[in-house]
């Protein structure tokens, strides 16, 4: 048949199949096993499709037209063709969740695959791939099968840190990259059939693996491997498979209980054996192993319904899809080995490696003899936060469905094994160990939004000891505004915001066929919520985040009451600009360049009280803006009467100065009455030496009272921890002797003050830390390369400049040396510091920006996030500029409390520093913010 005739025949087959299927209504189109050599370049709009199966044909390419309108496509099956490449517009299938291109001839993966941000499962096994780098950019990928390719070297980790299962068997790998250690969610790893040596497996040591398959490599020892539930390393120099000790080998992997004794060795080629498997998933696992590693061993699978599959005569995909259809509930599938010309070793290896992948089953011999086995079952699938949107009747919405304006919907929330209808594209595992009580784990859930109407809760969610929680349905209603919208779901444990996810969607009128529903975990205090039990309890949590419509959502939650407030960007800018301007005027004067304190950083009582009056008015305005309801303010004031630990969860670049909130009721038209503490301040300020938890004269407080304890920063301990990428929010810094404290300083500051300050710091650190001044970039880079660095201090200017049309902050050290946030990551990468850098000991970084108002809080956050990316223990930064003299005293007092004999935590040390300054009539201590756990302390050997 000619090429033209073939093409016409293919077009006719495709047309007939599409006409025979109601794919526009069902969303499913199957063109499987039609003998197609090519697809037509022009097709009807596929915008309705959610599933497309083109497997089992002879296609050499997928025309781009088949993906132009595939915005709702969630499953794309291309297995068993002759594809040499995927079209570059694969990224247009943005809703894709499953991609199967196994059994083709692919030599590369297009980088556009990174646009498929909802992909959770990818099967590229049985191709000609030599590089998997593009797959590392797929943010929420969970399962990757890249077996039987041409991989000899991996430039990076073969997938993102979300991977839970990875199959690289049947390749040509000699080593594994250091980046492999970043796969902190990986539970199942198959490296069988490569050329790996024992030394190459060192990168696996810290991974949370439960299943590890290393059969047929070059391992000379099994020492140093991770402690896993299932390990198979047959066919290595360290553990060869010999028929004469096959029984002992299998005992290593299973607790075998023979029903009848079996005489070993057994001549498998003469007798034949049958493996009885009573579980669909396990049968699929053994059959998958057969196709990847033992295709030359003749084998049959028989089911109780009478169906028999000759594995050598059908494709892998056909076999795997047939098993659920024929293995009925409660029945076993029997995988039988027939006499094989290839000899005993291959058959024995198949049996042994199959046993290592099973939890229970039986090994059958002719004559009715059996040998049953049970082995330890791996931990159930990790539990994650699952979120989906439904209509008002709780019918699930597709991820490509737009919501209608003024419509009633519900958000469905649960914690359990990942479900395929969850819209979270980067689920973070919740491996829970110690329950809160006999029933399980207690969480609070708050749902908030600036774009829809929803009751924030808090809602109670109980996660049982095993399995999933029940579904929590929270109703919400869209408004008339069209366009992008968002919801936020935050999971709390003891008022720690352990995980928060933003759910984005579209609100459109009828006629718009597609939308986009996507969720992403964008804040977490731990990469394993099981460890949330380690986080100390907080009295209150305040969450701030941005909405798609240019708004700020503020959620205040104490576990009993959730208060959700929407603040427009204009409101936030107006309030925040005004309060920071006033604080600057009070501390640095109208021009922001001259300290308003004497050489001892003091101010007379009269001037100090005037400062408090002015600042209290601004602080009260901020308080009313973030908690506008008078009943909510009264409730919080009652529950925060004395010193409390408050956690600020910041899922935004906007930084609110929470220390400046003034929560004593204020009438802006009244001057206010002085607290008795202030009426005789010169005498009574001494009462603050012991840092009382509440104002000593609190009984006199009422409307319009002016008191320093009205400010959150003078009454409470406040933290703003950044989101944690790996591990858990640190509460200690391990000090390894000899320890050093790195100090980057500007030489453009007052030289006499700088000299005095560093002399005092050296005395403060004496006997504990060697002070290492850094006056240039090379010295600082070298100092930060120390993997056991406990302290890093910046005593410098902070400025900004335009770079590529972007305002970029930088710290100025030495004479005019600029350190940008990006500098830190570049040093890390170029210096080869490695993923373990600062894993054991991580520094507390103190950014003390002096004598400049150019560096804004959002700029400081850029450095906070940069250091967090390097796994620093935390950062202390400033809300506004401070004078050099005040900056020096704050840092010195902080370090005296933090590293001194008392060993105070960061929160306590900073709080005491504020009060120490306050006793001098100086409120500049409110300028400093800890971007870390307030409980962070030094842990000495």
| Tens digits of residue pLDDT in 284-338 | 889 999 988 888 888 889 988 888 988 888 888 888 888 888 888 778 888 887 6
Within a 10 A sphere around the Cβ of 261, how many other Cβ atoms?
8
Strand partners, 500: 490, 523
Question: Two tokens at 524?
Answer: 């977490």
How many CA atoms lie within 13 Å of 770's alpha carbon, on the beta-carbon side? 9
Do 63 and 41 meet the contact criterion of CB atoms below 8 Å apart? yes
Q: Residues near 15 by Cβ (< 8 Å), separated by ≥ 6?
A: none
Query: Can you tell me the distance from the alpha carbon of 713 to that of 914, in angstroms, rounded to the nearest whole number?
Result: 8
Instruction: Find the mean pLDDT for residues 639-659.
Output: 84
pLDDT in tens, 897-936: 999 877 899 999 999 999 999 999 999 999 898 999 999 9
How does residue 270 score in pLDDT terms, banded at 50, 70 and 90? very low
Instruction: Find the mean pLDDT for residues 751-773.
Output: 92
Q: Which helix (H) or strand (E) holds 852?
A: none
* Max avg pLDDT among 416-430, 662-676, 857-871: 662-676
Query: Can you tell me the distance from the alpha carbon of 386 to that of 340, in angstroms, rounded to the nearest whole number?
Result: 48
Instruction: Find the mean pLDDT for residues 607-616.
Output: 92
- Best CA proximity match to 875, nearest among 729, 747, 773: 729
CA distances from 402 to 481, 546, 876 (A): 13, 21, 43
Within a 10 A sphere around the Cβ of 441, how many other Cβ atoms?
24
Query: Can you tell me the distance from the alpha carbon of 241 to that of 283, in angstroms, rounded to the nearest whole number?
Result: 23
Q: Is the pLDDT of residue 212 over 50?
A: yes
Q: Is the pLDDT of residue 553 over 80?
A: no
pLDDT at 834: 78
Q: Residues near 834 by Cβ (< 8 Å), separated by ≥ 6?
A: 178
pLDDT at 4: 61
CA 311, distance to chain mean position in Å, is 41
465 burial level (CB within 10 Å; 0-12, 13-18, 19+): exposed
Break the chain down into helix, strand, coil percent, rounded to 5.
30, 25, 45
Question: Is the bond leading into 265 cis (omega within 30 degrees of zero)?
Answer: yes
Instruction: Find the mean pLDDT for residues 388-393.
Output: 92
Query: Can you tell me the distance from the alpha carbon of 342 to that of 297, in angstroms, rounded to the nearest whole number?
Result: 7
CA distances from 654 to 156, 502, 583, 809, 914 (A): 34, 17, 18, 15, 23
Query: Can you tell me the distance from the alpha carbon of 437 to that of 339, in angstroms, rounded to the nearest whole number?
Result: 56
Within a 10 A sphere around the Cβ of 381, how many other Cβ atoms?
14
pLDDT at 1: 47
Instruction: Find the mean pLDDT for residues 183-189.
Output: 86
Residue with tokens 């809760």: 457
Instruction: Find the mean pLDDT for residues 191-211.
Output: 90
Q: Is the pLDDT of residue 793 over 60?
A: yes
Q: Residues near 754 by Cβ (< 8 Å), separated by ≥ 6?
A: 745, 746, 747, 795, 884
Question: Two tokens at 379?
Answer: 């931990």
pLDDT at 706: 93
How does residue 854 score in pLDDT terms, banded at 50, 70 and 90? very low
Q: How far from each other are the two terminal CA atoms of the chain, in whole angstroms? A: 81
Query: Can you tell me the distance from the alpha carbon of 68 to that of 91, in angstroms, rounded to the nearest whole number?
Result: 10
pLDDT at 514: 64
Q: Is the pLDDT of residue 861 over 70?
A: no
Residue with tokens 């033992």: 294
Question: Is the bond leading into 72 cis (omega within 30 degrees of zero)?
Answer: no
Do 337 and 347 meet the contact criterion of CB atoms below 8 Å apart? yes
Instruction: Find the mean pLDDT for residues 402-430.
Output: 87
Instruction: Find the mean pLDDT for residues 336-345.
Output: 58
pLDDT at 263: 42
- Which range is least confidently modeled, 74-83, 120-129, 425-434, 827-836? 425-434
pLDDT at 743: 92
pLDDT at 806: 67
pLDDT in tens, 52-63: 999 999 999 999
For the chain, what percent of residues have pLDDT higher than 70?
89
Instruction: Find the mean pLDDT for residues 742-756.
Output: 91
Question: Two tokens at 538?
Answer: 């907080």
Instruction: Find the mean pLDDT for residues 827-834.
Output: 84
Strand partners, 844: 791, 874
Query: Can you tell me the distance from the alpha carbon of 124 to that of 102, in angstroms, rounded to the nearest whole number?
Result: 5
pLDDT at 260: 40
The overall average pLDDT reported for the chain is: 84
Q: Residues near 250 by Cβ (< 8 Å), separated by ≥ 6?
A: 256, 351, 352, 355, 373
Would the pTM count as exceeding 0.75? no
Question: Two tokens at 368?
Answer: 């009715």
Q: Is the pLDDT of residue 758 over 60?
A: yes
Query: Can you tell me the distance from the alpha carbon of 449 to that of 424, in angstroms, rounded to the nearest whole number?
Result: 17
- Best CA proximity match to 917, nearest among 616, 581, 596: 596
Strand partners, 573: none
pLDDT at 266: 46
Within a 10 A sphere around the Cβ of 853, how many other Cβ atoms?
18
Query: Can you tell me the distance from the alpha carbon of 913 to that of 916, in angstroms, rounded to the nearest whole number?
Result: 5
Instruction: Find the mean pLDDT for residues 217-246.
Output: 75
Within a 10 A sphere around the Cβ of 384, how many other Cβ atoms?
28
How does residue 142 score in pLDDT terms, banded at 50, 70 and 90? confident
Instruction: Find the mean pLDDT for residues 586-612.
Output: 90
Question: Two tokens at 760?
Answer: 């005092």
Instruction: Find the mean pLDDT for residues 606-618.
Output: 92
Q: Is the pLDDT of residue 792 over 90?
A: yes
DSSP letters, 690-714, are G--SS-TTGGG--TTEE-GGGBHHH
Structural domains of the chain ordered from first start: 3-241 (3.80.10.10), 268-374 (3.30.1340), 383-523 (2.60.40.10), 569-717 (no CATH), 732-940 (3.40.50.1460)
Question: What 3-state DSSP class applies to 610?
Answer: helix
Strand partners, 444: 460, 492
Q: Residues near 20 by Cβ (< 8 Å), separated by ≥ 6?
A: none
Question: Is the bond leading into 738 cis (omega within 30 degrees of zero)?
Answer: yes
Instruction: Find the mean pLDDT for residues 457-471.
Output: 87
Instruction: Find the mean pLDDT for residues 26-32.
Output: 89
| Strand ranges inside 393-450, DSSP E | 408-417, 441-448
What is the C-alpha radius of gyration for the chain, rounded to an integer number of angstroms?
A: 32
Do 929 and 659 meet the contact criterion of CB atoms below 8 Å apart? yes
Do 207 and 181 meet the contact criterion of CB atoms below 8 Å apart? yes
**Helix pair 280-293, 344-356: axis angle to 10 deg:** 140
Instruction: Find the mean pLDDT for residues 454-469.
Output: 87
CA angle (506, 508, 514) in 5-degree steps: 65
CA distances from 909 to 683, 732, 773 (A): 24, 14, 23
How does residue 478 score in pLDDT terms, banded at 50, 70 and 90? very high
């Amino acid at each position: 048949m000619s090429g033209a005739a073939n093409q016409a025949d293919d077009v006719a087959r495709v047309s007939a199949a599409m006409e025979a299927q109601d794919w526009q209504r069902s969303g499913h189109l199957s063109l499987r096993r039609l003998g197609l050599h090519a697809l037509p370049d022009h097709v009807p709009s596929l915008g309705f499709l959610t599933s497309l199966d083109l497997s089992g044909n002879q296609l050499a390419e997928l025309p781009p037209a088949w993906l132009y309108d595939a915005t709702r496509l969630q499953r794309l099956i291309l297995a068993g063709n002759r594809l040499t490449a995927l079209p570059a517009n694969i990224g247009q299938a943005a809703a894709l969740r499953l991609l199967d291109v196994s059994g083709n001839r692919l030599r590369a993966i297009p980088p556009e695959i990174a646009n498929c941000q909802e992909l959770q499962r990818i099967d590229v096994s049985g191709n000609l791939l030599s590089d998997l780098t593009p797959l590392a950019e797929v943010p929420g990928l969970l399962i990757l099968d890249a077996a039987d390719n041409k991989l000899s070297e991996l430039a990076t980790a073969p997938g993102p840190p979300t991977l839970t299962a990875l199959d690289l068997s049947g390749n040509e790998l000699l080593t594994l990259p250091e980046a492999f250690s970043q796969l902190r969610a990986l539970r199942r790893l198959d490296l069988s059939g490569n050329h790996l040596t024992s030394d190459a497996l060192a990168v696996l040591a810290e991974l949370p693996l439960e299943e590890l398959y290393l059969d047929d490599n070059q391992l000379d020892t099994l020492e140093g491997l991770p402690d896993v539930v299932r390990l198979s390393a047959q066919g290595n120099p360290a553990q060869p498979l010999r028929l004469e000790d096959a029984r002992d080998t299998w005992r290593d992997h299973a607790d075998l209980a023979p029903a009848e004794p079996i005489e070993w060795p057994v001549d498998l080629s003469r007798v034949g054996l049958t493996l009885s498997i009573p579980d669909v998933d396990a049968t699929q696992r053994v059959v998958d192993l057969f196709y990847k590693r033992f295709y030359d061993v003749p084998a049959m699978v028989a089911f109780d319904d009478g169906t028999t599959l000759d594995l050598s005569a059908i494709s892998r995909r056909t076999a795997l899809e047939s098993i659920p259809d024929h293995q009925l509930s409660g029945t076993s599938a029997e995988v039988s080995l027939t006499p094989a010309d290839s000899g005993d070793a291959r058959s024995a290896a198949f049996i042994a490696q199959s046993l290592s992948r099973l939890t229970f089953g039986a090994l059958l011999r002719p004559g009715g003899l059996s040998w049953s086995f049970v082995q330890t079952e791996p931990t159930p699938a990790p539990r994650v936060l699952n979120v989906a949107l439904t209509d008002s009747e709780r019918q699930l919405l597709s991820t490509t469905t737009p919501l209608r304006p003024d419509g009633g919907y519900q958000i469905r929330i649960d914690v359990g094994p990942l479900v395929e209808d969850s819209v979270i594209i980067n689920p973070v595992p919740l491996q829970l160990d110690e329950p809160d009580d006999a029933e399980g784990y207690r969480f609070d859930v708050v749902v908030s939004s600036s774009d829809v109407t929803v009751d924030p809760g808090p809602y109670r969610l109980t996660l049982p000891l095993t399995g999933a929680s029940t579904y929590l349905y929270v109703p919400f209603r869209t408004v008339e505004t069209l366009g992008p919208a968002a919801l936020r779901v935050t999971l709390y444990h003891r008022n720690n915001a352990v995980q928060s996810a933003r759910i984005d969607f579209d609100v459109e009128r009828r006629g718009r066929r597609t939308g986009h529903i996507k969720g992403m975990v964008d804040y977490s205090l731990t990469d394993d919520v099981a460890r949330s039990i380690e986080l100390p309890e907080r009295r209150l949590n305040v969450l701030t985040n941005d909405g798609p419509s240019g708004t700020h959502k503020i959620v205040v939650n104490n576990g009993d009451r959730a208060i959700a407030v929407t603040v427009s960007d204009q409101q936030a800018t107006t309030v925040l600009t005004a309060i920071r301007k006033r604080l600057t005027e009070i501390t640095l004067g109208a021009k922001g360049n001259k300290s308003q304190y004497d050489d001892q950083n003091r101010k007379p009582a009269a001037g100090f009280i005037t400062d408090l009056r002015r600042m209290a008015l601004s602080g009260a305005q901020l308080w009313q803006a973030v908690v506008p309801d008078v009943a909510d303010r009264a409730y919080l004031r009652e529950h925060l009467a004395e010193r409390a630990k408050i956690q600020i969860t910041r899922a935004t670049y906007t930084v609110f100065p929470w220390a400046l909130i003034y929560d004593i009721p204020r009438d802006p038209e009244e001057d206010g009455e002085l607290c008795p503490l202030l009426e005789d301040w010169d005498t009574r300020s001494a009462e603050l030496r012991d840092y009382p938890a509440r104002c000593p004269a609190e009984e006199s407080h009422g409307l319009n009272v002016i008191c320093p304890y009205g400010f959150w920063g003078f009454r409470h301990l406040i933290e703003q921890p950044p989101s944690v990428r790996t591990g858990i929010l640190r509460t200690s810094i391990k000090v390894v002797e000899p320890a050093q404290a790195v100090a980057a300083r500007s030489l453009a500051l007052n030289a006499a003050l700088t000299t005095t300050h560093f002399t005092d710091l050296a005395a403060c650190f004496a006997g504990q830390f060697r002070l290492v001044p850094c006056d240039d970039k090379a010295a600082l880079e070298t100092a930060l390369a120390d993997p056991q660095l406990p302290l890093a201090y910046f005593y410098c200017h902070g400025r900004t400049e335009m770079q590529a049309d972007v305002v970029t902050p930088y710290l100025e050290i030495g004479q005019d040396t600029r350190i940008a946030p990006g500098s830190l990551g570049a040093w890390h990468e170029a210096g080869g510091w490695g993923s373990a850098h600062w894993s054991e000991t991580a520094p507390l970084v103190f950014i003390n920006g002096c004598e400049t108002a150019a560096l804004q809080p959002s700029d400081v956050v850029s450095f906070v996030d940069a250091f967090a990316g390097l796994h620093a223990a935390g950062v202390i930064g400033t809300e506004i500029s401070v004078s050099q003299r005040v900056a020096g005293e704050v840092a010195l007092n902080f370090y005296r409390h933090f590293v001194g004999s008392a060993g105070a935590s960061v929160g306590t040390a900073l709080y005491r520093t504020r009060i120490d300054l306050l006793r001098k009539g100086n409120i500049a201590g409110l300028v400093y913010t800890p971007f870390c756990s307030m409980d962070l302390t030094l842990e000495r050997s």
